[in-house]
């Protein structure tokens, strides 16, 4: 059990996790074989964390257990009405062997915002942070040390009450699992091609677009398949006024020739922590940064006229990836390539991997 003091902001005492070690944990040799080429989201560590919540008992029964199947009643509300949220955050191994994560308070708060939208209970941020530390305490050896590798942490919460009435569940589970990760895209940091979804939306006004909830991703799967059929890596969504929203799992950023940087902002877009960090690094370099509507016309005309000089996507899983092509039903727009996206990517990852000074205090140590 990791010792953490009472949280000074909330006055919450740390949870007492019951730890059950996995007696069938992978051998060091098997683990190393996985870490040599982890891909993304394919393999999982030896343990998982869970915390129960109920209307009557609040947050209770915090556990670290062997990774394995979850037993659910077939009437569990999540299986019927999709009351579910999740997060994505990474643990990075530094050259001295220590393990750090990046702005976890932001993920903890976003999980709370998602919870509010999905009528789920809000996990206190100190419990969220403690869950990350508890998992690293038992599975720290799973944090890879190769270039651009990390341990992808996937916190999630769902309605487990067995009840078919449509109302917020009275019983909920929070879980944390972890998966060693290399590059999200097969080609690494090569520019990606983007398919413009004209027939399908990801989110609507007043909907759940800003929440990290499974339904948004479910809604993106058919258009994402359309993207693959059209030989594109990812899909970009528009809002009802044909403004650019975001990709299936990443935010979009435009760089203009005067050096200003613009990213779509609205209440139907996930507020990306990578994007927020990249934009801060750009501000530190003196770039003017703006969050506002960007219409599809502004994008296409800006590229055609040379006003837009770079377009990139960013998110925890994909980090920062230049966009090379925008493809629609009746057009293919080559995107201009510059150097800013890759410079910002390097600056960000240098901080995450402890190679550069952490001026903004973004790192959080997980293994001490």
- For residues 120 and 159, the answer to whether their CB atoms sit within 8 Å is yes
Does 223 engage in binding with ligand COI (CB under 6 A)? no
Judged by CB under 6 A, the residue of 48, 169, 192, 270 near ligand PLP is 270
Give the footprint of ligand PLP on residues 56-115 (CB under 6 A). 88
Does 273 engage in binding with ligand PLP (CB under 6 A)? yes
Does 249 engage in binding with ligand COI (CB under 6 A)? yes
Comparing CB distances to ligand COI, the nearer of 77 and 318 is 318
Secondary structure of 179-205 as H, E, C letters: EEECCCCCCCCCCEEEEECCCCCCCCC
48 makes contact, choosing from ligand PLP, ligand COI, none, with CB < 5 to 8 Å by partner type, with none
Comparing CB distances to ligand COI, the nearer of 238 and 317 is 317
- For residues 185 and 192, the answer to whether their CB atoms sit within 8 Å is yes
Residue 242 CA to its chain's centroid (Å): 25
Comparing CB distances to ligand PLP, the nearer of 59 and 102 is 102
Q: Site map for ligand COI, 59-88, x if CB under 6 A?
A: -----------------------------x
> Which residues pair with residue 154 across a beta bridge?
177
Comparing CB distances to ligand COI, the nearer of 171 and 345 is 345
Comparing CB distances to ligand COI, the nearer of 213 and 243 is 213
Give CA torsion, residues 314, 319, 320, 321, to 10 deg. -100
What are 63's two structure tokens?
């556990």
Give the footprint of ligand PLP on residues 244-263 (CB under 6 A). 246, 249-251
Min dist. Cβ of residue 248 to ligand COI (A): 6
Helix (H) or strand (E) holding 319: strand 319-328
Does 136 engage in binding with ligand COI (CB under 6 A)? no
What are 214's two structure tokens?
């499974």
Contacts with ligand COI by CB under 6 A: the residue count is 5
Phi and psi, residue 245, nearest 5°: -100, -85
Does 150 engage in binding with ligand PLP (CB under 6 A)? no
Comparing CB distances to ligand COI, the nearer of 252 and 303 is 252
Judged by CB under 6 A, the residue of 130, 150, 197, 274 near ligand PLP is 274
What are 25's two structure tokens?
């944990």
- Residue 61: left if φ>0, alpha if ψ -120 to 50, beta else—which one? left
Give the footprint of ligand COI on residues 294-323 (CB under 6 A). 315-317
Q: What residues contact residue 164 under an 8 Å CB cut-off, 6+ apart? A: 75, 77, 80
* β-pair type (319-328, 192-196): parallel
Q: What are the residues binding ligand COI (CB under 6 A)?
A: 88, 249, 315-317
């Amino acid at each position: 059990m990791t010792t953490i003091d009472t949280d000074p902001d909330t006055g919450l005492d740390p949870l007492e996790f019951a730890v059950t070690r996995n007696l069938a944990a992978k051998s060091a040799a098997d683990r190393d074989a996985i870490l040599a080429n982890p891909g993304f989201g394919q393999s999982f560590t030896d343990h998982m964390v869970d915390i129960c919540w109920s209307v009557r008992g609040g947050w209770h029964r915090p556990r670290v257990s062997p990774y394995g199947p979850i037993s659910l009643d077939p009437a569990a509300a999540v299986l019927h009405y999709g009351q579910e949220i999740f997060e994505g955050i990474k643990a990075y191994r530094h050259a001295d062997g220590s393990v750090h994560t990046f702005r976890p308070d932001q993920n903890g708060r976003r999980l709370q915002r998602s919870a509010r939208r999905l009528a789920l209970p809000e996990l206190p941020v100190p419990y969220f942070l403690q869950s990350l530390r508890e998992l690293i305490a038992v599975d720290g050896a799973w944090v890879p040390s190769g270039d651009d590798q990390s341990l992808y942490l996937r916190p999630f919460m769902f309605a487990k009450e067995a009840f078919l009435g449509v109302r917020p569940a009275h019983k909920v589970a929070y879980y944390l699992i972890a998966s060693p990760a290399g590059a999200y895209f097969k080609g690494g940091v090569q520019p990606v091609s983007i398919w413009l979804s004209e027939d399908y939306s990801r989110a609507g006004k007043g909907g759940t677009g800003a929440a990290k909830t499974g339904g948004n991703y479910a809604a993106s799967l058919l258009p994402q398949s359309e993207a693959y059929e059209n030989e594109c890596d990812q899909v970009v969504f528009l809002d009802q006024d044909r403004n650019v929203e975001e990709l299936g799992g990443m935010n979009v950023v435009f760089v203009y020739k005067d050096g200003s940087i613009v990213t779509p902002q609205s209440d139907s877009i996930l507020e990306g922590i990578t994007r927020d960090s990249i934009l801060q690094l750009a501000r530190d370099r003196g770039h003017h940064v703006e969050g506002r509507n960007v219409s599809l016309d502004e994008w296409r005309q800006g590229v055609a006229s040379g006003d837009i000089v770079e377009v990139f996507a960013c998110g925890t899983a994909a980090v920062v990836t230049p966009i090379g092509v925008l493809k629609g039903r009746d057009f293919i727009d080559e995107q201009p390539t510059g150097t800013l996206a890759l410079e910002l990517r390097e600056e960000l990852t240098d901080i995450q991997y402890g190679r550069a000074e952490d001026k903004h205090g973004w790192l959080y140590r997980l293994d001490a």
